[in-house]
Amino acid sequence: MTALEVEVDPGEAGFDAERLGRLSTHLNKYVDKGLLPGVNVLVSRGEEIVYRHMYGARDLERALPVEADTIYRFYSMTKPITSIAIMQLYEQGLFQLKDPISRWIPSFAGSQVFAGGDAVQPQTRDATRDISVHDLLTHTSGLTYHFHMAHHVDEMYRRAGFDWTKSPGDLESQCDILASLPLLFDPGSEWNYSYSTDVLGRLVEVMSGLSLDAYLKKNIFEPIGMVDTGFSVPGGQEERFASCYYPDGETQQATLLDDAQRSRYLREPEAFSGGGGLVSTLGDYHRFTQALRSGGALDGKRIIGRKTLEFMTSNHLPGGVDLTEYGRPLFSETAYDGVGFGLGFSVVVDPAKAKVLSQQGEYAWGGAASTAFWVDPVEDLTVIFLTQLLPSSTHPIRPEMKALVYQALL
């Protein structure tokens, strides 16, 4: 039995069914106005699914509807999975979180920090210390992303070949290129959304002796029954794949960006991106979130220890501060006020400061195409929202969903 087959009346799980219906009414308006191609939503409490809603299209050009088995680009919702993978190796005693990553990727030894100049002629200085595994898990490594468009180092990434649609070589080569570029800041001194989780994927490969795709399949996907998750769309399943869209600059209408039938995701990638490369389905990702909410196991198969998961989903920012106090005000897949960061997950530390109806201790992440999930251990609640619209900052869907889900709790 898959997780999607278990459903109960919302009232039996402590929800007001009529108030929960406000969620579909609100989301359908985005689709009807042409702002989103379609929506696919799941709310569960405990082991029971209390709400499922599909509306609109997975492929507007071919008039194909959203279906239960539609395959989506999950982008940064890959990050929590890769973070679980590296912590599996931690549980085997293969490293300590304080260890420098240069132990496994020697090119990261003696990192330099940007100290002036520009992207063509940068001035650098020695970093105060090497990047640690913990720095990668918490995005405090000093690495950045090419798409931030906020600093000369971001431009240096673009000049080095980092792009949305292609990569400068395989994962090993990518990491060596990243290591050759200056850091944005000293490791551990700030938070900045970055390629850190891609480097974690390379650590998984080096420590385990397996490619990242093979490791994830053997140690996460197969054990908990994630049959449709991988770094490319399986052969013969192309019609299930959703197209991806962007908002037209004038009308905000969802406009084709990546045609499902011509997408690069139909082929195995050159580099397995642990930070953003997976495609999956709502059913598969629900199995992952169910394993999380139950303390690291599903159907008798454990992918992470209970205490390890509690450790990962606590705030690891120094002094318990939030991202506003410790992070650079750049794009990421979460808000900054009242939200801290653990090992691969954002963590709500102060709902009042966040000014979003939410729960302290709730952990989450999202993807660039406006996908999102959260797990609330206090209310024993998991929520997944899927669509395909880049960027995720286009519409305030995530905070709206928080209000719409929590207001329906009895």
In a domain, 221, yes or no: no
Residues 6+ apart with CB under 8 A from 355: 337, 338
Chain segment 339-362, per-residue pLDDT in tens: 999 999 999 999 999 999 999 999
Q: Of the candidates 154, 173, 208, which is a domain's last residue?
A: 208
The reported pLDDT for the residue numbered 4 is: 54
Same domain, residue pair 178 and 295: no
The reported pLDDT for the residue numbered 165 is: 75
Same domain, residue pair 138 and 274: no
Same domain, residue pair 147 and 176: yes
**Which residue has 């090993």 as its token pair?**
172
Percentage of the residues of the chain whose pLDDT score is greater than 70 = 97
Helix (H/G/I), strand (E/B), else coil: 380: coil
In a domain, 287, yes or no: yes
In a domain, 235, yes or no: yes
- What pTM did the predictor assign? 0.96
d(CA 237, CA 280): 12
Same domain, residue pair 189 and 264: no
Same domain, residue pair 178 and 120: yes
Same domain, residue pair 69 and 101: no
Mean per-residue pLDDT over the chain, rounded: 95
pLDDT band at 300 (very low <50, low <70, confident <90, very high): very high
pLDDT band at 328 (very low <50, low <70, confident <90, very high): confident
Chain segment 45-87, per-residue pLDDT in tens: 999 999 999 999 999 999 999 999 999 999 999 999 999 999 9
Task: Give yes or no for residue 332 having a pLDDT over 90.
Answer: no
In a domain, 398, yes or no: yes
Residues 6+ apart with CB under 8 A from 348: 338, 339, 340, 354, 358, 359, 360, 361, 362, 363, 364
Same domain, residue pair 251 and 300: yes
Percentage of the residues of the chain whose pLDDT score is greater than 90 = 92
Task: Give yes or no for residue 370 having a pLDDT over 70.
Answer: yes
Same domain, residue pair 305 and 360: yes
Same domain, residue pair 163 and 285: no
Output the DSSP codes for 110-124. Answer: T-EEEEEE-SSSEEE
Q: Looking at residues 164-188, what average pLDDT do you find?
A: 93
CB 261 within 8 A of CB 155: no
Q: Hey, what's the torsion of the CAs at 91, 94, 100, 101, to 10 degrees?
A: -100
Residues 6+ apart with CB under 8 A from 19: 407, 408
How many domains is the chain partitioned into structurally? 2
In a domain, 265, yes or no: yes
In a domain, 215, yes or no: no
d(CA 76, CA 276): 4
Chain segment 214-272, per-residue pLDDT in tens: 999 999 999 999 999 999 999 899 999 999 999 999 999 999 999 999 999 999 999 99
In a domain, 216, yes or no: no
The reported pLDDT for the residue numbered 335 is: 75
Range of the domain at 153: 85-208
CB 272 within 8 A of CB 102: no
Q: Of the candidates 177, 208, 239, which is a domain's last residue?
A: 208
The reported pLDDT for the residue numbered 164 is: 78
CA torsion through residues 394, 396, 399, 405, sign: negative
Same domain, residue pair 264 and 349: yes
Same domain, residue pair 383 and 306: yes
pLDDT band at 166 (very low <50, low <70, confident <90, very high): confident
The reported pLDDT for the residue numbered 3 is: 46
What is the CATH number for 185?
3.40.710.10
Same domain, residue pair 389 and 349: yes
Q: Of the candidates 139, 173, 208, which is a domain's last residue?
A: 208
In a domain, 162, yes or no: yes
